[in-house]
Amino acid sequence: MSSNVKKVGKLAIAIALVVSMTVVLSVPLDIIPPLGGLIDPFSGIWTVYQDADHPPHATVFAPGQLSAPVTVVRDSWGVPHIYAANDRDLYFTFGFIHAQDRLWQMDMKRRQARGMLSEILGSSYVSTDIYLRSLGMERAAQQSIDAMYSLTDTYNVTLRQNLEAYVHGVNWYIGQAGANLPIEFKLLNYQPKPWTLLDSISIGRIMDFSLSWSNDDLKFANTITQLGNDSAWELFPLNSPLQIPVVPEYGETYIPPPDLPDIAIPESLQITIDDVLSSVDNLPDPEGVLTRWKDDIVGSNNWAVNGTKSDTGKPILCNDMHLSRDVPSIWYQVHLVSADTHRNIYGFSLAGVPLLATGHTEYVAWGFTNTAADVIDWYYYKVNPANPNQYMYNETWLDFEVETTYIAVKDGSVIPHTIRRTIHGPVLSDVGVTYHDYALAQRWTGAEPSYEMIALDKMAMATNYNEFIEGQRFWWTISQNIVYADVHGTIAIRPTGHWPIRDGNGLGRLPHNGSAGDGEWIDFIDFEDLPLSLNPSRGYVVSANQLCAQQGPGAYPYYIHAGYAPGYRARRINYLLANDDNITVEDMKRFQLDVLDTSAEAFVPYIIWAFDNASTSITSDPMLSAAIDELRTWNYTMLQEWVAPTIYRAWFDFFWEQVFADEYPDDPTIRGSMLWPSPIVLENLTRFNPTSPWFNDTSTGTTETRDDIIIRAFSDAMTALEDEIGPNINQWTWDKFHFIVYTHQVGDALGHGPFPADGSGVTVNPSRVNMWARENGASQGGPSERLVVDFNDPEHAHSVIPGGQSGNPLSQHYSDQLFQLFLVGGYHIDYLYFDINDLTDRESILVLMG
Amino acid sequence: MSTINRIFETFKQYNLVKTFLLTLILTVVFLYLLSWPGCLLAATIGGFFTLRYSRAAIMGFLAGLSAWGILVGIHAAFGGIAVLELFGAIAGLTGMGEILAVIIVLIGGLLGLSGSLLGNAIFALIEPYVSKSGETTK
């Protein structure tokens, strides 16, 4: 008996041990996956190093998928050069290669665009998914596909066959990957679903969201409420002063705005607006996709010179798109060659998207900057008190269009959510709240069908300007300043997109009374009527997110936008190009890396002037004198090792705050829901209106002028620097205050930085300044690529991305370009050889056999 | 004697080393076929054929430790420590690659220990019935 008890006891101990081990190794903790699967010697995270780099020679068999073998040569930077006999084989292989190097990034982007984050990240992301789905990006992507598939001519049928081949290529990779998935899938414990064309098109929409979606109309309404009509329009003019527009042919002088609307917001509508503005801030936000646009760099530079300005007599085109500093890099470089169509293009692709966003061929090159065109309007409607399922439109109660969407969550649950739409678009005041007296909906071109695949394909196949614009006219969403240059000598820039024409005063700066039928979009501006600089006599074209064209009577007749960049980068680039008639490729690289701050160039003389005319108590202060001496000898370049950038930027922060903050409400919540003036407006006041009431501090009994505030800000800023670093002014170097960081969504360990950096938010090589937060305020936005194409030698353009080609953290190409090139101002060669035998830089060769 | 009884008798004549080798090989094979739970199964089989509870514990632990040690060692030789460094860094443990490798190997040993104890305990319970069955058919 006692022997049996002993045996049972031993069994119990053994079972307890087995159960304990099983539980420890197989139970996930929130989104942390089961440990057993991660450490498994055969299928765990170990596969990550096995796939880190591609073998020198490999063959993949894809039976029935290819009509002829395809060769993929990866060069020493891991850039694939895909040589195929025809386009279908080419795009199948492109999909395969994208997935091979960036599968998790592709998956994450589609999940953002389609609102499927909670399926892998857990229930805390349900509200984010609801918001993303409410925006309507997935729906618009599907409508775009439907529109594309309704075109049955030979060109479009062939194009979509190519796109479908790309999708097959991605899925072929997923199917044969087995356990060899990227580390992120293992860490988050999920498998990729099959790829679809809807995923590819949706990814473009999330990019559009970052670049064109805005709630500035609501903030402007709040600004008018708080500051009054005249003050708000003075601080936020339609045509910002001191701008050199992208298309200066419509004039460079300041044009007063047209008749300005007044607005009186009912209290119940104000509640709705406040809820909508705060709802985004409270959402979990992977990669900052919902909020980063608000407080970091979203901009870009592009320019081109013609043969009269270049040393070779041929055009040179440059582009550096400023986006979030993501790891892996946003862009994936690739060279696509197809023998039968003579397709030969090298450029930047978004992982998951079959066509290159920007690129260059033997004939043409093009690049993008964001226009910040106003392609979104907000509409408010009275909700029927007797029936909350109805809203008033044109004095009639209409039913909301209702769609139920089902959100899958990581824990296996499925959460239904009802999206309501008005005649204009989704009701965003529904997100997070159940009922308002007013419904607030948006109409946004990003939520409407478009034809960007046709545009990108036609632009890539163009051999001259006329062919290029036949593609460009299909570029509707992600409104961009498209710079162009070709081997024939043509240069051009055209802000391009589907820009609405509104009824009434034509403006889209304030929420419209949807119930009254205000602010309807009555048409879109014809492509031929978009602003255009074509072969201008000055010999160059420039865009840096500044004002597209002066708007109003006597200038460009349509309203385009108001939320553009202050124009300091454009000012600098225009200066550099205007003053050099023998520009080389190396000059262009130098220009892209330029860190002269033209805002400093504008403001610093006023600081020195005010100091020299200040009271003795100021001029005799040793610390202030030493600081001003730094500014006197400064050439306005924002170099890390210098002290003057720190002094200037500290002063600017205090000056800007002291000029405007006293007129703004004290409540930080209200402040956060208002617009704040651009530095260019402050420069305009400083230069031309030194006694402006804005300089008066309303909290004192006296009347302050510009110079009073300049000196007070200077003194306060130097005291703050002394408190931060100490009294030794030589220690106040810029590298202690200005940082950049490259972030990966899974964790800091997969990212890079923070690193001290040259530049500021308005230098040509930009990185936002948040100096008082030091390392914690590192800029998460900046150049996402750099490209210089010289048409004297189009087979050897120069480019770089701030990262690498591979999404595998253990690959030598995960961050090789960042450390070996980008951070030290380097570039690599874009080999654009149509003949594979010319390509001798071969790190690995992959052959896909059908 | 029944076939199954002959197998038991055969393995009981085996020494610890032979059982250890059997368990080690089964662990590698089952890990490949069944992922990490296969390690428990392999050790359970090994423990089934080990005479004493304490010996089963030692044998299972060493077999699991060795199997995982060999596999992790192979990974380490080809760059696997970098994966662990990365994994550790994500979890906030920088420079812990080697230590994590040792911990993983120890987990393999514990899996072997757990499984072999289970196998031995099960055998201890059913042995009288198996033997009786063997005598009946003798």
Contacts of A594 (CB under 8 A, 6+ apart): A572, A576, A763, A764, A765
Contacting residues of A for B64, CB less than 8 Å apart: none
Q: Which of A13, A18, A45 sits opposite B83 (nearest CB)?
A: A45
User: In which band, very low, low, confident or very high, does the pLDDT at A33 lie, cut at 50, 70 and 90?
Assistant: confident
Tell me how far apart the terminal alpha carbons of chain A are, to the nearest angstrom. 70
Closest-CA residue of A relative to B69 is A41
Name the residue with higher pLDDT: A127 or A531: A531
pLDDT (average), residues A524-551? 97
Q: Which residue of B71, B83, B84 is the best one to mutate when testing the A interface, meaning the one whose CB has the most A CBs within 10 A?
A: B83
CB B65 within 8 A of CB B56: no
Calculate the average pLDDT of chain A: 92
Separation of alpha carbons A346 and A150, rounded Å: 30
Contact (CB<8Å) B31/A39: no
Tell me how many domains chain A contains. Answer: 2
pLDDT (average), residues A378-394? 93
Q: Is the residue at A819 inside a domain?
A: no
Q: Is the residue at A564 inside a domain?
A: no
Q: State percent of chain A over pLDDT 90.
A: 78
**Domain containing A727 — which CATH number?**
1.10.1400
Compute the nearest-CA separation of B17 from chain A (Å).
22
Asked if the model's pLDDT at residue A783 lies above 90, the reply is yes
Residue among A326, A91, A87, A83 nearest A197 (CA): A91
Contact (CB<8Å) A49/B78: yes
Contacting residues of B for A747, CB less than 8 Å apart: 89-90
Asked if the model's pLDDT at residue A683 lies above 80, the reply is yes
Separation of alpha carbons A695 and A684, rounded Å: 12
Q: State percent of chain B over pLDDT 90.
A: 51
Contact (CB<8Å) B110/A14: no
Q: Is the residue at A648 inside a domain?
A: yes
Contacting residues of B for A746, CB less than 8 Å apart: 90
Separation of alpha carbons A110 and A8, rounded Å: 54
Q: Is the residue at A717 inside a domain?
A: yes
Contact (CB<8Å) B83/A10: no
User: In which band, very low, low, confident or very high, does the pLDDT at A550 lie, cut at 50, 70 and 90?
Assistant: very high
Residue A13 sits at the chain B interface (C-beta within 8 Å)? yes
Query: What domain range is A632 assigned to?
Result: 598-636+643-732
Compute the nearest-CA separation of A33 from chain B (Å).
12
pLDDT (average), residues A103-122? 94
Asked if the model's pLDDT at residue B15 lies above 80, the reply is no
Asked if the model's pLDDT at residue A256 lies above 80, the reply is no
Q: Is the residue at A224 inside a domain?
A: no
Compute the nearest-CA separation of B117 from chain A (Å).
5
User: In which band, very low, low, confident or very high, does the pLDDT at B138 lie, cut at 50, 70 and 90?
Assistant: very low
DSSP state of A372: -
Asked if the model's pLDDT at residue A814 lies above 80, the reply is yes
Contact (CB<8Å) A48/B111: no
pLDDT (average), residues A641-647? 98
φ, ψ at B118 (rounded to 5°):
-65, -45
User: In which band, very low, low, confident or very high, does the pLDDT at A254 lie, cut at 50, 70 and 90?
Assistant: low
Rounded to two decimals, the ipTM of the complex is 0.87
pLDDT (average), residues A416-436? 85
Residue A720 sits at the chain B interface (C-beta within 8 Å)? no
Residues of chain B whose beta carbon is less than 8 angstroms from a beta carbon of chain A are 31-32, 35-37, 40, 53, 68, 71-72, 75, 78-80, 82-83, 86-87, 89-90, 94, 104, 107, 110-111, 113-115, 117-118, 120-122, 124-125
Residue A327 sits at the chain B interface (C-beta within 8 Å)? no
A350-384 residue pLDDT tens: 999 999 999 999 999 999 999 999 999 999 999 99
Closest-CA residue of A relative to B73 is A41
Asked if the model's pLDDT at residue A229 lies above 60, the reply is yes
- Cβ neighbours around A567 below 10 Å, total: 26
Asked if the model's pLDDT at residue A63 lies above 60, the reply is yes
Compute the nearest-CA separation of A47 from chain B (Å).
9
Asked if the model's pLDDT at residue A430 lies above 90, the reply is no
pLDDT (average), residues A632-640? 97
A718-750 residue pLDDT tens: 999 999 999 999 999 999 999 999 988 777 788
Contacts of B89 (CB under 8 A, 6+ apart): A747, A749
pLDDT at residue number A748: 79
Contacting residues of A for B115, CB less than 8 Å apart: 18
Q: Which of A17, A43, A746 sits opposite B117 (nearest CB)?
A: A17
Separation of alpha carbons A333 and A572, rounded Å: 28
Residue A27 sits at the chain B interface (C-beta within 8 Å)? no
Of A188-192, A267-271, A505-509, B58-62, where does mean pLDDT reach its minimum?
A: A267-271
Asked if the model's pLDDT at residue B135 lies above 50, the reply is no
Q: Which of B35, B94, B110 sits opposite A40 (nearest CB)?
A: B35
The encoded tokens of residue A135 equal: 């925006």
A290-334 residue pLDDT tens: 654 445 556 899 999 999 999 999 999 999 999 988 999 999 999
Extract long-range pairs of B87-92: CB within 8 Å, 24+ residues apart. B87/A38, B87/A45, B89/A747, B89/A749, B90/A187, B90/A746, B90/A747, B90/A749, B90/A750
Question: Which of A693, A715, A732 represents a domain boundary (last residue)?
Answer: A732
pLDDT at residue number A291: 56
Of A44-53, A590-599, A814-823, B50-59, where does mean pLDDT reach its minimum?
A: A44-53
Closest-CA residue of A relative to B112 is A18
Residue A30 sits at the chain B interface (C-beta within 8 Å)? no
R_g over Cα of chain B: 18
DSSP structure string for A561-628? -S----SHHHHHHHHHHHT-SSB-HHHHHHHHT--B-HHHHHHHHHHHHHHHTS-HHHHT-HHHHHHH
pLDDT (average), residues A797-820? 96
Contact (CB<8Å) A14/B118: yes
Contact (CB<8Å) B121/A42: no
Q: Is the residue at A692 inside a domain?
A: yes
pLDDT at residue number A591: 98
pLDDT at residue number A188: 86
Q: Which of B37, B80, B114 sits opposite A14 (nearest CB)?
A: B114
pLDDT at residue number B132: 59
φ, ψ at B58 (rounded to 5°):
-65, -45
User: In which band, very low, low, confident or very high, does the pLDDT at B97 lie, cut at 50, 70 and 90?
Assistant: confident
Contacting residues of B for A29, CB less than 8 Å apart: none
Say how many CB pairs under 8 Å bridge A and B.
Answer: 97
pLDDT (average), residues A226-251? 90
A450-503 residue pLDDT tens: 999 999 999 999 999 999 999 999 999 999 999 999 999 999 999 999 999 999
Closest-CA residue of A relative to B37 is A22
Q: Is the residue at A385 inside a domain?
A: no
Q: Which of B111, B113, B125 sits opposite A11 (nearest CB)?
A: B125
Separation of alpha carbons A662 and A206, rounded Å: 37
pLDDT at residue number A286: 59
pLDDT (average), residues A780-806? 96
DSSP structure string for chain B? --HHHHHHHHHHHS-HHHHHHHHHHHHHHHHHHH-THHHHHHHHHHHHT-S-HHHHHHHHHHHHHHHHHHHHHHHHHTTHHHHHHHHHHHTT-TT-HHHHHHHHHHHHHHHHHHHHHHHHHHHHHHHHHHHHHHHHT-
pLDDT at residue number A367: 98
B16-63 residue pLDDT tens: 888 999 999 999 999 999 999 999 999 999 998 888 888 999 999 999
A147-192 residue pLDDT tens: 999 999 999 999 999 999 999 999 999 999 987 899 889 888 899 9
Closest-CA residue of A relative to B107 is A21
Asked if the model's pLDDT at residue B134 lies above 50, the reply is no
The encoded tokens of residue A184 equal: 């992120």
Q: Which of B37, B72, B83 sits opposite A49 (nearest CB)?
A: B83
Residue A48 sits at the chain B interface (C-beta within 8 Å)? yes
Contact (CB<8Å) B79/A49: yes
User: In which band, very low, low, confident or very high, does the pLDDT at B96 lie, cut at 50, 70 and 90?
Assistant: confident
SS3 category, A295: helix
Which helix (H) or strand (E) segment holds residue A8: the answer is helix A2-26
Q: Is the residue at A845 inside a domain?
A: no
Asked if the model's pLDDT at residue A510 lies above 70, the reply is yes
Residue A28 sits at the chain B interface (C-beta within 8 Å)? no
